[in-house]
């Protein structure tokens, strides 16, 4: 039996309001808010990297869980914005945590990697740390930034400790999916800017996210109305509203910090989980559903309940 033992997050100090982005891409600040629900985001400095953000989130998570890094049996690190082909950031994050032989595995699954790591970690013994760190600003602020993508993204990192021992949330089930037919519709080339077919992404996400949520609930005999909170990838507010409608629950059941951080890709679900858990007043048996959708396309859901 696996548990979610703690969450962590790290965000750059620089707050970037819509008016600053609007000046860069040639649009109105209010338009950004109206189409995305985003009011500001965080952008990392040159000194803040995928690794440094990931390490900070990892340390925050371990501190919150009361577990030393030396107890970890494995680390998964998700990032779609690593600055080099290989090695990925996992090995360096492990080193910065003081580890010299613990396996550290990269999961370059943009937007969905945080939850994929959680689901995989639930199958491993002992303690597994899942980290997702992104510096999306570098991907969207290249020369001639695209108005439709540059407005959406922010930087940050999140982390989750998965334990086979104990924790505040017991993992009930998870469901992971991939369809490579849409691989070209959301991609980050090695030497280019982010490419996104917005119509395809929103159409597929609107179909697939409610379905994967309802499927994991159905196979565990849980009604959507009996889920206390949904923690979903923070892509934009419009998508969250569509998913809530598709699942058949009020949007108020969907935790959202999109207005403050924008879309932080694979880090978003873990940053949201860290903030949500810090103020949650869970009662035993209350259910929480996590869900993500990202490049690939990859998507999935994970059902947990308060222990």
User: Angle 113-121/268-279 helices, nearest 10 degrees?
Assistant: 70
Which domain-ending residue is among 163, 193, 216?
163
Q: Is the pLDDT of residue 143 over 80?
A: no
Mean pLDDT of 151-170: 97
Total domains present in the chain: 2
Question: Can you give the pTM of this predicted structure?
Answer: 0.97
Mean pLDDT of 5-24: 96
175 and 158 in a common domain:
no
137 and 78 in a common domain:
yes
**Number of neighbours of residue 154 by Cβ within 10 angstroms:** 30
Whose CA is closest to 69, among 121, 122, 9, 129? 129
More confident residue, 65 or 146: 65
User: What percent of the chain stands above pLDDT 90?
Assistant: 91
Range of the structural domain that residue 100 is part of: 3-163
249 and 174 in a common domain:
yes
Mean pLDDT of 191-202: 90
197 and 156 in a common domain:
no
Which domain-ending residue is among 104, 130, 163?
163
Query: What is the per-residue pLDDT across 212-261, written as a single tens digit (0 to 9) for each?
Result: 999 999 999 999 999 999 999 999 999 999 999 999 999 999 999 999 99
89 and 205 in a common domain:
no
Pairwise CA distance, residues 8 & 199, whole Å: 33
180 and 60 in a common domain:
no
């Amino acid at each position: 039996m696996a548990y979610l033992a703690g969450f962590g997050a790290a965000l750059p100090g620089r707050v970037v309001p819509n008016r600053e982005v609007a000046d860069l891409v040639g649009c109105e600040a209010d338009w950004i808010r109206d189409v995305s629900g985003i009011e500001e985001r965080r952008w990392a400095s040159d000194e803040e990297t995928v690794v440094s953000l990931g390490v900070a989130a990892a340390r925050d998570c371990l501190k919150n869980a009361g577990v030393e890094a030396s107890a970890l049996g494995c680390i998964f690190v998700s990032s779609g914005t690593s600055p080099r082909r290989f090695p990925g950031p996992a090995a360096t994050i492990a080193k910065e945590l003081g580890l010299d032989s613990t396996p550290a595995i990269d999961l370059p699954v943009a937007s969905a990697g945080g939850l994929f790591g959680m689901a995989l970690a639930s199958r491993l013994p002992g303690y597994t740390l899942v980290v997702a760190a992104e510096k999306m600003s570098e991907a969207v602020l290249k020369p001639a930034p695209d108005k439709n993508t540059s407005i959406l993204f922010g930087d940050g990192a999140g982390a989750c400790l998965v334990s086979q021992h104990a924790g505040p949330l017991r993992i009930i089930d998870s469901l992971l999916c991939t369809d490579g037919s849409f691989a070209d519709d959301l991609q980050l080339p090695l030497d280019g800017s982010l490419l996104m077919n917005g119509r395809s992404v929103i159409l597929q996400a609107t179909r697939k996210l409610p379905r994967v949520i309802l499927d994991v609930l159905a196979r565990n005999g849980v009604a959507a109305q009996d889920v206390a909170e949904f923690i979903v990838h923070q892509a934009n507010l419009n998508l969250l509203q569509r998913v809530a409608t598709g699942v058949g629950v009020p949007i108020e059941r969907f935790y959202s910090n999109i207005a403050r951080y924008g879309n932080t890709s694979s880090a978003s679900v873990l940053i949201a989980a860290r903030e949500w858990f810090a103020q949650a007043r869970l009662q035993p048996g209350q259910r929480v559903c996590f869900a993500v959708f990202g490049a690939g396309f990859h998507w999935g859901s994970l059902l947990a309940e308060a222990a």
